[in-house]
Amino acid sequence: MRPLERRVRTLARGMAELLLPRACAVCRQLLDARVVGLVCQTCWARCENFPEPVCRRCGHPRQSLPGVALTANSDTDHTGDGFATCRWCPRLPPVVRALRSASRLDSGTAGAIVHALKYGRWSGVADEMGARMARLAFPDDVVSERVALVPIPLASARERERGFNQSVLLARAVSRHWDIPVWPDILQRTRETRSQTRLTPSERASNVSGAFVARHTMKERLRGAHLVLVDDVITTAATLNAAAQALTLGGARILSYLTFGRAPDAGDRSFHASDPD
């Protein structure tokens, strides 16, 4: 870039900041000109991770689950980490290898960030969320085997209203860091479903049962694949499990799950509603 062109661009950016100052999509405080994204560093710093120790398979905190620490060779210690079998893992079908979520939704600012993306229509926030999701540590076999990211399809009426599918945006953001493709059309919804927000766990499972199918034209691509299902949040895993079943019936060998937020379990310390899966 030529020096004159660089100076003109710098001046243009300065004028834009002066006339149209940017505000954080979450707290609405003015953003420093050096901030590239749409969420301020303070709000990102207030996102809370899950406290160690966590389950090696599902990533849920162990300290909030009942039971006492065991010796590593105990018959009930199936993970080798000295803790009783995880209470959260039975929600996942055997075909699911691992689950990871970037932030907890019962405290901190993660819930507000999800809300800014989905309801504030700050679609650019997905790039920042996806970057944090991409940094999550999966087991070595997941890293070596994963071939594609599959976003959860959004109900057509809801996607028209929102203007985008947040799961697709997140998957594309993760894809840029993982260097694997996004397969946005391999899953399709067979019917509209109610919002999961106010449903009980059993109602959630019934609501999304049979709601997805793998496209017949994609079965050759699916055969034997290890895929990573992507959604914005997870609560009971009902939606992700229904999608996993459809992909398995379509020929996928194994699935892993990746979300930005995770709602608390009933046994966790605190809870506030966000917009759970």
How far apart CA 133 and CA 167 sit, in angstroms, is 12
pLDDT < 50 stretches in the chain: 12, 14-19, 64-83, 269-277
pLDDT (0 to 100) of residue 86: 84
pLDDT (0 to 100) of residue 64: 45
Helix, strand, or coil (residue 229) = strand
Helix, strand, or coil (residue 47) = coil
pLDDT (0 to 100) of residue 253: 96
Tokens at 198, concatenated: 């106010």
Phi then psi for residue 13, to 5 deg, are -65, -40
Per-residue pLDDT reduced to its tens digit, 104-152: 998 899 999 999 999 998 999 999 999 999 999 999 999 999 999 999 9
Instruction: Tell me whether residue 179 is exposed, middle or buried, using C-beta atoms within 10 angstroms of its C-beta: 0 to 12, 13 to 18, 19 or more.
Output: exposed
pLDDT (0 to 100) of residue 200: 64
Cβ atoms of 229 and 152 closer than 8 Å = yes
pLDDT (0 to 100) of residue 87: 82
Cβ atoms of 55 and 79 closer than 8 Å = yes
Q: Which amino acid is at 14?
A: G
Residue 182, C-beta contacts closer than 8 angstroms, at least 6 positions apart: 148, 149, 150, 151, 168, 171, 172, 175
pLDDT (0 to 100) of residue 184: 95
Helix, strand, or coil (residue 112) = helix
Structural domains of the chain, ranges and CATH numbers in brackets: 1-45 (no CATH), 56-64+91-262 (3.40.50)
pLDDT (0 to 100) of residue 69: 42
pLDDT (0 to 100) of residue 101: 97
How far apart CA 250 and CA 185 sit, in angstroms, is 13
